[in-house]
Amino acid sequence: MKRQKFDSTAISELLATVSSWEIDAGETALSKSFKFANFSEAFGFMTRAALVAEKLDHHPEWKNVYRTVEVRLTTHDAGGLTALDFDLAIAMDRIVGSSGH
């Protein structure tokens, strides 16, 4: 059930549960750019998020340049957004919130 693709209505409703995440034009991915004080904080965030991603068996597309981490979430095998994408987005927001950002 977690890998079932959401329709536009569900995506719109769930978008309200995540802070500052954006949906791409085709409603196939969530994206967000996180900025940190320095590289160590950015890498620490990625490390904590990687542990959550592994537990969910759902892995982000992301890149890190110095203090910025750009994240894109999609469920490739479903061809769009699923509960896993929103679960991971919420977890990432919590990680940032718990570190004082």
Q: What is the residue whose two structure tokens read 């896993």?
A: 84
Q: What is the residue whose two structure tokens read 């957004």?
A: 81
Chain segment 27-85, per-residue pLDDT in tens: 899 999 999 999 999 999 999 999 999 999 999 999 999 999 999 999 999 989 999 99
**Which tokens belong to 56?**
């969910």
DSSP type of residue 75: B
pTM of the predicted protein model: 0.91
**Which tokens belong to 82?**
């699923």
The domains found in the chain, sorted by start residue, are 8-98 (3.30.1360.20)
- Work out the number of other CB atoms within 10 angstroms of the CB of residue 70: 14
Q: Which residue type sits at 11? A: I
pLDDT at 19 over 90: no
Residue 30 in 3-state DSSP? Answer: strand
Could you tell me if 87 and 93 are in contact, meaning their C-beta atoms sit under 8 angstroms apart?
no
